[in-house]
Amino acid sequence: MFGDPVRNEKGWDKVRLGDICNKIGSGATPRGGKENYKLDGIRLIRSLNVHNNQFEYENLAFIDDGQANLLSNVIVEQDDVLLNITGASVARCCIVPDNVLPARVNQHVAIIRPDDKILNPYFLNRLITTDRFQTFLVKNSKKKGATREAITKDEIEALNICVPPIDNQNRFTRIVEKVESLKAEYNNSLKEIENLYGSLSQRAFKGELNLSTIQVQLSKKEKPGINTTDLHAGIIAKIIYLHSLNPKHELTLGHVKAEKISHIIESHLNIDLGRNPKRIAAGPADFTHIKKVEHRAKMKNWFAVYKREGTSGYKYNLGKNYNNLLEITSNELGSREAEIDKIINLFLKQDSHQAEVVATTYAAWNDLLIEGKNPSDAEIIKEARLNWTESKLKISEDKFLKSIEWLRKKKLIPAGKGKHTIPTSDI
């Protein structure tokens, strides 16, 4: 569409990157190094989190407010381009996900914040990650006499960037977003097939499955009415809408709570939202998938994520097209919509921490059932508290016990449906 970004055979205007950016800069590692990282707080983005066109959430570090204040010159903002500038991962580049903010970067990562009236950050990211541009950057990072690869701030500012008309860039971004959505759908389908193969193989080897009785029928798959990314967005839009009906409830809703409600809906009703939930400090979550969902929702003007003033948390605001999404979602869900509304309503009064404990308890209980066990309350608590992440040890056993009782009272008892959460050791 735009040709080679280095040769520029299409003759696009070439502009010095520093002249069309509002910020270019890198940070530092807090005093004391990784030993002083925290279990939660402000995110510190490192080079291992930045991959080409993809942000890796695993091993994301945290710092406290005091450490973050010392890095106030590298506050990461929405849609910032992140570029690795040292070491073996030099030149890797991606867009910061909204759900990582608030965040800072260390000295190995540069923030590039283009003037979006001239240069679309998503276009810039894709331009930097083309094979030709990657080769150019890596080659130039290997300076004579240097012990490791490095790209300086001056060199970033001096880069000559092809700048097509902004309308073309925006159109390209929409195309990329659609392609990424389709790729996610195909990857999810492949994972489902692999999981089914693994499950059937184990049952066959254990003698639990008589293969001679299985009839395989090949049929043309019906075209789904809505893909899993959009369905997940629709579920979140319903969560936002039902919380917005009461200002007190609206204040309790953020990233963590919405993801926990989504997890229980997906598992309890066995509805595929395309998630592959992992065992992280905030409970069962798939932030790689939620990044795609929130990006698509923002592009479609369904809803968006904003920083909640005066706190480190985030809030959702519905966009002007959210009614269209709710209608599509309602048509897809059919009779299951009433069950989903019921689950969302059960969580309206809970804050993020309460939702986290309940969802973790539910997920741990459900995982044990998937494994074929009939767990006692003590075994459920052990799985949710001791076999999750270290941070769960800060939560008392009594809170997990009360969550078990609450789930029983509300008739949200797991049945071993849905996907097993991925343990931290397997991530």
- Distance, in Å, from the CA atom of 118 to the CA atom of 387, rounded to the nearest integer, reads 50
- Distance, in Å, from the CA atom of 246 to the CA atom of 241, rounded to the nearest integer, reads 10
Residue 387 is predicted with a pLDDT of 93
Contact 383, 375 (CB under 8 A): yes
Measure the CA dihedral 38/361/379/402, to 10°.
100
**Residue-wise pLDDT tens digits, 245-289:** 988 898 899 888 999 999 999 999 999 999 999 999 889 999 889
**Residue-wise pLDDT tens digits, 82-130:** 999 999 899 999 999 888 889 999 999 999 999 999 999 999 999 999 9
Contacts of 175 (CB under 8 A, 6+ apart): none
- Distance, in Å, from the CA atom of 88 to the CA atom of 216, rounded to the nearest integer, reads 48
Bridge-based pairing of strands 103-105 and 42-45 is parallel
Is the model's pLDDT at 70 over the cut of 70? yes
- 14-163: CATH topology: Adenine-n6-DNA-methyltransferase TaqI; Chain A, domain 2 (3.90.220)
Contact 60, 45 (CB under 8 A): yes
What's the Cα-to-Cα distance from 20 to each of 16, 67, 78, 258, rounded to whole Å?
A: 7, 30, 17, 37
Token pair 């939702």: residue: 355
Q: What is the mean pLDDT of residues 8-25?
A: 88
Q: What is the mean pLDDT of residues 374-393?
A: 94
Residue 305, φ and ψ in degrees, nearest 5: -110, 135
Confidence of residue 49 (pLDDT cuts 50, 70, 90): very high
Q: Write down the domain spans for the chain.
A: 14-163, 171-205, 235-426
Of 242, 249, 237, which Cα lies nearest the Cα of 350?
A: 249
Residue 196 is predicted with a pLDDT of 67
Contacts of 168 (CB under 8 A, 6+ apart): 1, 2
Residue 419 is predicted with a pLDDT of 92
Angle at 391 between CA 385 and CA 271, to 5 degrees: 65
Residue 6 is predicted with a pLDDT of 60
What's the Cα-to-Cα distance from 348 to each of 144, 206, 341, 342, 356, rounded to whole Å?
A: 61, 44, 11, 10, 13
Residue 219 is predicted with a pLDDT of 40
